[in-house]
A = this chain, B = another copy of it.
């Protein structure tokens, strides 16, 4: 931490800052310059975040500049080697490219099972599907609940694909854990800290989506909630941020992918279905994410998108999903990853 004092700050003001720092067990180095006086802070203290805020309010202080990252367990400094998460015979975070695919919301047995079969045949290694759905409007479809989880369990049994599905609230974790292989935390819940605490205690991997207006730093800090409870199997998922552009539902921040690889050891996948909101942009953005180094992609697939109860406009048909998988192979190879699904 560095404390920048204002141009005309006197000795008394600097002394007060130094006294506060020393009271917290830190060491202060004073440098007087022509334009500014600067106090460098050495040492660490658990009270540092609060201290930063309070120093800002002292007379003569112009700016307090943090110089260490606020997240620890998720940082590459803490763990230089990549986190690789085992998932049956497959793994996420290594040289495999993981493709998670399935319907936005599960609707019927037929829909769930046929989609699971189709995506497996095309090379997906994880089945996605929602039973508890967040809906912008209370009058929209909110998912089948436990009934939906049972249908997903059938699709899973038929195909052997592990299942990723969303949990919306602490009270449902136990139930969802009975069916899911990966717990999904949606974008709207990225800062639902109580929920993060609780999935941090679960013994299954967590797919953790970035919030619509979250910076990368806030996302890693939120992941820290899960990690610090003991669950180290977190898969980050970029799913688009909110910008002024209205043609796409969100703007998929592809640059977040190499940035996460630089700052963190956690695997990162991309969700171009939610990231664009338009099925005809899903394939180019999936290819882009993989070229930029994503560990995987998450794709919405539906037997007939034009009758889907949710997110039809961003879902691929079986045929289009198959085409995507074909196009994905050479790009994955160029990026040094292999698609491990049976169908490929």
Contact = CB atoms under 8 A, between A and B. Distances in A.
A7 B72 CA distance: 14
A309 B243 contact: no
A7 B222 CA distance: 24
Contact of A245 (B224, B247, B253): B253
Contact of A134 (B49, B168, B193): B193
Given A54-B308, A192-B189, A255 B281 contact: yes
Nearest to A280: B262
A50 B290 CA distance: 31
A67 B4 contact: yes
Contacts of A308: 50, 53-54
A309 B50 contact: yes
Contacts of A246: 215, 246
Contacts of A171: 170-171, 194
A102 interface: no
A309 B142 CA distance: 39
A318 interface: no
Interface residues of A, number: 109
A285 interface: yes
B243 A258 contact: no
Contact of A43 (B33, B225, B333): B33
A182 interface: no
A163 B250 CA distance: 36
Contact of A192 (B46, B192, B257): B192
Interface string A281-318: 10011011111110000000000011111111100000
A67 B77 contact: no
B49 A291 contact: no
Contact of A289 (B222, B242, B259, B288): B288
Q: Which 6 A-B pairs have the closest CB atoms?
A: A213-B213, A291-B291, A330-B334, A288-B288, A33-B42, A287-B291
Given A188-B191, A243-B251, 19 more contacts: A38-B40, A50-B308, A53-B313, A54-B307, A56-B312, A57-B306, A65-B65, A136-B218, A136-B221, A138-B228, A188-B192, A215-B244, A241-B245, A243-B253, A247-B259, A248-B255, A254-B288, A255-B276, A287-B292
22 contacts: A2-B2, A33-B40, A49-B137, A50-B310, A54-B305, A54-B308, A57-B279, A63-B67, A65-B65, A70-B137, A136-B221, A169-B169, A188-B191, A213-B242, A241-B245, A241-B251, A251-B253, A255-B284, A258-B280, A258-B281, A258-B284, A327-B334
